[in-house]
Chains A and B, each alone.
Chain A
Amino acid sequence: MEGALIPIVVFLIVYVAITLELVNKAVSALLGVMVLLMLHVVPEHEAAALIDFETIMLLLGMMSIVAVLRKSGLFSIISVKIATLTKGSPIKILILFSIVTAVLSAFLDNVTTVLIIIPIIIELTRGMGLDPKIYVISQAIISNIGGTATLIGDPPNIIIGSKVGLTFNQFIVNLTIPVIISFIVTLLYIWLTNREKFKPIDSNLAKLFSVQLLLEKIRIEFLNTRIDKKIMIKGLTCLAITILLFVTQTITKMSPGVVAVFMAMILFTISGVDVEQMMEEVEWSTLLFFAGLFILVGVLEHKGVIEWLAQNIFLKIGDNPYVMVLTVLWVSGIVSGFLDNIPFTITMIPIVRLMLEATPIPNNILWWALALGACFGGNLTMIGASANIVSVGMAKQAKVHISFLEFMKASATITIITLIIASVFLTSYLWLSL
């Protein structure tokens, strides 16, 4: 591991800065990269070659499409429609919003999903005299679970899919079952542990009446944005074509990143939206963060640090495939609960590759273990996933204060349960595959 000390120190400092939110994530990562470049640890062109542009393009493309759909008012319509369907029933609010959150998270990013859902669920539950906290926490958790089902639903999946070459279909075929089971069990757990909070209101005429007024108020507030049907239709069509092209990747041989950017540019062209304004909606700091991390981890890999970690920690667990799968799942799950799962996933990819070189495991099961661990693990604590942080932040703005412990009280057990479900699924899958 010659010349590895500087990259290790830089990486650790960046990791701490990100975890403790000392500096903006993108700035942390890029500062780390600049230090490496200035100290000639890696030449610029080699650093640039370490960036996985497939991941960047996929993120850029999907962010652009979502920005146009948001502008069209589509998400306002969906959330108001769901609110109306609930008719103020607490349990229907939980179930219907959770279904929408899970589905949206699977095809959009989790942060966008909670940005859409959380304001309306707070307005609805608070207006009904319910405590919004359990609803906010549940939607943050569900968004992470739902996002696990597809290639594009969660950043760890995007990274794994792009780096490893796993297709959209492979994610859906392999992860839908544990995601659906985890979704159902999570809802059951939330209901069973909070039964008092989900009591129906249909014997209280005054409350039923207030709900009608509340739904009218929500309709006015959330549909106040201009609904642009033409842009909505074009946006939905482009999104549908994008997903179709993802699904037919093995036939078209077009990578998801290329598809996403291509369709985004087509949508910008045909929709007539203000492109400068849409570009402002793209999370450039997230893209720069990814780019920085790819370089930092790539340098560690180049210097042999990753191989050292693999040899001295992960490969020491032996060559029993069940132990390997469960180790990757649970280590990813627990670590992702406390540290950002994006740098963790980027770091684990070369490690998992080395593990597979030593002990091949069929059907990409070890990659599914990493995906399930990194995604489900993000639910362990309030800081485990961006969707959690954003949800709690939005709740705070609405004067609904959720502490770290309050969040963890609900989320920790759910995370353990979902990791157990994933363990059962993966070990069964492995048993059938061997």
Chain B
Amino acid sequence: MYKLLRELGNVHGIATMTILSLNSFIESIQQLKCSKKETLPLYFELANALKNSQPNIIPLMHLLEQFENEMQENLTSDMDLETRRQKTISILQKKIELFQSNAARVTENGLNYINDKDVIIVHAASSVVTTILVQAKKKLNRRFKVIILEHNPERTRQTVRALRDADIEHIVAPAHNLSHYIEGANKMFVGALTITSDHKIVAPTGTAGTVSLCHLNKISVHLFANSLHYSHRDSTHQEIYEEQEETYSANMNFNMTTHSHDLVDLELIDHIITETGEIQKGTYPV
């Protein structure tokens, strides 16, 4: 299950994964055949497993913690099986709505950070970042250019398709070519899986390098993340996954060590935009 979550997370990004996971939870509950006595233990067992995924999906963790609390409060022993099922599904659906509402507010606030003639660098664009760019063009008719740094093919394809559909001027370049575009850019937009208690961001692989180069060249780095992305735990407890894979290249086999995500120092970020607006680094959004 964790491997599937990682593989899909690489393709979809954290926001989509959170909603996908909750929808999958709902679908599974609808298909589940068990006795009334078994329902709660099974629901909590799955919720617990998801909270311990590798790496942690922090928004999902927060929502599932809320889910568990509401389950304890709302489900009574005299409820029949079908009522329990429907109540559980209703609670999960409300969590999805909460997440989507937060994301929509981040997007709304994010529109204030795009101006005409901006040249914006994006790397492994999250759905929130992509939505901000698209809405800035469609709703506000802002004219700007986007430099898409290639991440995995599926994520890059999704971003290119969204910008193409919105008729936003863009170029696609490999991440290692960033130095050729740095002088022409004035902003970088990033999303994050998690913002940790020791002021680091867990982000897609490659983000640390690109953010560092932007920071060095005084390009304003904007982070868009709703409060559900904030973790109470530090960076060492985010279960970032390390993997060794055998690689073959030019008649030679060797082991390559990869990590599922990067850690980026919050000091390198210039603006943090949440659903309540811009917040100071080191503060926790209310």
Contacts and interface: CB of A to CB of B under 8 A. Distances in A.
Interface of A: 87, 127, 200, 202-203, 205-206, 208-214, 216-217, 220, 224
B31 A220 contact: no
B198 interface: no
B25 A209 contact: yes
A214 B45 CA distance: 20
Nearest to B30: A208
Nearest to B20: A216
A217 B8 contact: yes
B97 interface: no
A129 to B, nearest CB: 10
A87 B11 CA distance: 22
A87 B1 CA distance: 16
Contacts of A220: 8, 11, 154
B154 A208 contact: no
Given A206-B1, A210-B1, A216 B8 contact: yes
A212 B8 contact: no
Closest 7 CB pairs of A and B: A212-B24, A208-B28, A213-B4, A205-B42, A209-B28, A202-B33, A210-B1
B32 interface: yes
A209 B8 contact: no
Contact of A205 (B4, B21, B43): B43
A202 B31 contact: yes
A206 B49 contact: yes
Contacts of B5: 213
B5, B20, B33 — most chain A CB neighbours (10 Å)? B33
- SS class, residues of chain B in contact with chain A: helix
Contact of B4 (A127, A200, A202, A224): A127
A202 B33 CA distance: 6
A411 to B, nearest CB: 33
Given A205-B45, A206-B1, A212 B32 contact: no
Interface string B1-37: 1001101100100000000110111011101111000
Contacts of A202: 31-33
B46 interface: yes
21 contacts: A200-B33, A202-B31, A203-B34, A205-B29, A205-B42, A205-B46, A206-B45, A206-B46, A208-B31, A209-B25, A209-B28, A210-B1, A210-B4, A211-B28, A212-B23, A212-B28, A213-B4, A213-B8, A214-B4, A216-B24, A217-B7
Given A217-B7, A220-B154, A209 B33 contact: no
B70 to A, nearest CB: 18
B32 A203 contact: yes
A87 B49 contact: no
Contact of A217 (B4, B42, B45, B49): B4
Nearest to A224: B154
B154 A209 contact: no
A127 B32 CA distance: 19
Interface string B42-69: 1101100100000000000000000000
Nearest to B154: A220
Contacts of B20: 213, 216
Nearest to A214: B4
A205, A214, A220 — most chain B CB neighbours (10 Å)? A205
Nearest to A89: B31
A216 B42 CA distance: 23
Contacts of B21: 213
Contacts of A127: 4
Given A213-B24, A220-B154, A224-B154, A208 B32 contact: yes
A127 B28 CA distance: 16
- SS class, residues of chain A in contact with chain B: helix
Contacts of B31: 87, 202, 208
A226 to B, nearest CB: 11
Nearest to A220: B11
B46 A209 contact: yes
Nearest to B23: A212
B160 to A, nearest CB: 14
B11, B25, B32, B154 — most chain A CB neighbours (10 Å)? B32
Contacts of A208: 27-28, 31-32
B101 to A, nearest CB: 23
Contacts of A217: 4, 7-8
B173 to A, nearest CB: 22
Contacts of A209: 1, 24-25, 28, 46
Given A202-B33, A206-B46, A224-B154, 11 more contacts: A202-B31, A203-B32, A206-B45, A206-B49, A209-B1, A209-B25, A211-B28, A212-B28, A213-B4, A216-B20, A220-B8
A229 B45 CA distance: 43
A206 B5 CA distance: 13
A188 B245 CA distance: 42
A203 B154 CA distance: 34
Nearest to A200: B33
Nearest to A88: B31
A214 B4 CA distance: 7
Contacts of A87: 31
Contacts of B27: 208, 212
Given A212-B27, A213-B20, A216-B20, A205 B7 contact: no
A211 B24 CA distance: 9
A203 B35 CA distance: 9
Contacts of A203: 32-34
Nearest to A201: B31
Nearest to B32: A205
Contacts of B1: 206, 209-210, 213
B5 to A, nearest CB: 7
A211 B29 CA distance: 12
A209 B64 CA distance: 15
Contacts of B11: 220
Interface in B239-274: none
A200 B32 CA distance: 11
Contacts of B154: 220, 224
